[in-house]
Amino acid sequence: MNRALNALQSTKSTRNLGLKHRNTFGFEVSAELAYDITVPEQIPEVMSEIAKQKLAWRVLGGGSNVILPKILAGATLLMNIAGQEIISADDKNTYLSVGGGVNWHEFVAWTLEHDLPGLENLALIPGTVGAAPIQNIGAYGVEVAEYIDSIIVFDVKDQAFVTLTKDACCFAYRDSYFKQNPQRFIVTQVVFKIPKSWKPRIHYADLAKQFFENANPSPEDIFLAVCKIRTHKLPDPKVIGNAGSFFQNPIIPIEQFEALLKKHVDLVSYPDLPGKRKLAAGWLIDQCGFKGQRLGSVGVYENQALVLVNHGGGTAQDVLSLAQSIQDKVRAEFGVSLVIEPNLF
Ligand code: EPU
């Protein structure tokens, strides 16, 4: 409790804080009022101050899935709650409690060091643990939702801490109850449920290729393979600003898919939901000739058309105009609408 009291007394707020290094696009951004949140107990007081002053607000994790304007008006809560620990175990599972501000990739590495495999397919995804469930991060055939037991949040509407079970989180492809109810919940801790039985999950084409001659890789083998594939396909935000996939992979009715397939025999798609088909947005954009293209300071990454990049000096507006021309062309060519994946603040 002392820790919480100390943090409360010193809830640091900073005016006009530069956030260039806290958004992976590397945009020049200034937060009018930024709060450093290191323990959950700070949140009720900060939120009541924000309500009193009728300020706009948002939570920022690692800034890896956001498009930030030049000025972030009102209050920005910098989610910096640390800590990861094993809280219990039974015959089948180990339960871990992890602070919302913990770096996702470092957490995945920690689970492997503690012999708790399961999350290795999600290695090297930028961002924080608290942000992971909001868009239900996923890669190489695994989604984080599968490993979540419950989530501790501050409910801004009811001004209380609540534990939401996995079912209450309504997880779906890049979607959750939190994403459906913006401005309502602040994730403080995530409780993970890691099954003790483990099997490699290497069915995803890119991974299967890596293990062509090794059907029994270890979790560490998979971790390293995922890191290798991602490093090759996705730009390192420390080198070229980006927010990972800029668009969601569109899910379309099966009839529309069949009609498209007649015109484009090499259309890349996945069976996702009954009666529907998920298309590879990267393939659609690539076919429209955008890969490696530049528009001023921003552009489309040369190795993966789904990733928009900031070559330096770009702004949210620049990237949004490029996105608009991509959306227009893909709609004209394929009759498919692309939805922007990162959050627009
Ligand atoms: N493709 C192209 N040209 C491109 C890009 C992709 O033809 O420029 C084709 C690929 O050849 C492949 C297909 O499109 O056949 C899919 O590409 P990829 O395997 O690279 O995956 P993705 O669907 O583009 C998704 C996630 C990524 C995740 C990877 C791996 C979304 C929106 N994106 O990308 O997530 O890492 O699968 O599982 O679901 C992110 O969300 O930020 C992200 C990077």
pLDDT in tens, 205-252: 999 999 999 889 999 999 999 999 999 999 999 999 999 999 999 999
**Does the domain made of 84-195 have the CATH classification 3.30.465.10?**
yes
Nearest to 102 by CA among 133, 61, 50: 61
For 165, residues 6+ apart whose C-beta sits below 8 A from its C-beta are 149, 150
Among 41, 120, 143, 341, which one carries the catalytic annotation?
341
Tokens 């937060």 belong to residue:
31
* Helical (H) or strand (E) element with 2: helix 2-9
Nearest CA residue ID for atom 3, ligand 1: 283
**How many angstroms separate the CA atoms of 116 and 95, rounded?**
10
Architecture of domain 2-79: 2-Layer Sandwich (3.30)
Residue 316 structure tokens: 């949210």
Order of strands, sheet of 13-18, starting from the edge strand that comes earlier in the sequence = 13-18, 30-37, 71-79, 57-60
Nearest in space to 342 (alpha carbons), one of 9, 25, 95: 25
d(CA 23, CA 72): 12
Indicate which residue of 22, 58, 174, 277 is catalytic: 174
Side chain identity at residue 294, one-letter code: R
How many angstroms is it from 49 CA to the middle of ligand 1? 42
pLDDT tens digits for 97-114? 999 999 999 999 999 999
Pocket test for ligand 1, best of 265, 278, 306, 338 (most atoms within 8 A of CB): 306
The DSSP element (H or E) to which 35 belongs, if any, is: strand 30-37
How long a stretch of residues is the chain? 345
Q: At what angle do helices 104-113 and 219-233 cross, to 10 degrees?
A: 160
Whole-number pLDDT of residue 152: 98
Q: Establish whether 10 is a catalytic residue.
A: no
Q: CATH assignment of 241-344? A: 3.90.78.10
Ligand 1 centroid vs 131 CA: distance in angstroms? 20
Using the predicted structure, report yes or no on whether residue 1 has a pLDDT greater than 50: no
CA-based nearest residue to 79, from 96, 94, 57: 57
**Cα–ligand 1 centroid distance for 280 (angstroms):** 6
Joined tokens for residue 111: 């689970």
Residue 245 is a catalytic residue: yes
Residue 213 catalytic? no
Best of 210, 245, 285, 336 for a ligand 1 pocket test (most atoms within 8 Å of beta carbon): 245
55 class by beta-carbon count within 10 Å (0-12 exposed, 13-18 middle, 19+ buried): middle
What does DSSP assign to residue 237? T
Tell me phi and psi for residue 184, to 5 degrees.
Answer: -110, -40
pLDDT digits (tens, 9 = 90+) for 262-286: 999 999 999 878 899 999 999 999 9
* Rounded mean pLDDT, 139-162: 97
Judge contact between 48 and 159, C-beta under 8 A. yes
Q: Would you say residue 8 has pLDDT above 70?
A: no
User: Can you give the residue ranges of every domain in the chain?
Assistant: 2-79, 84-195, 241-344
Q: Which residues pair with 151 in a beta bridge?
A: 164, 190
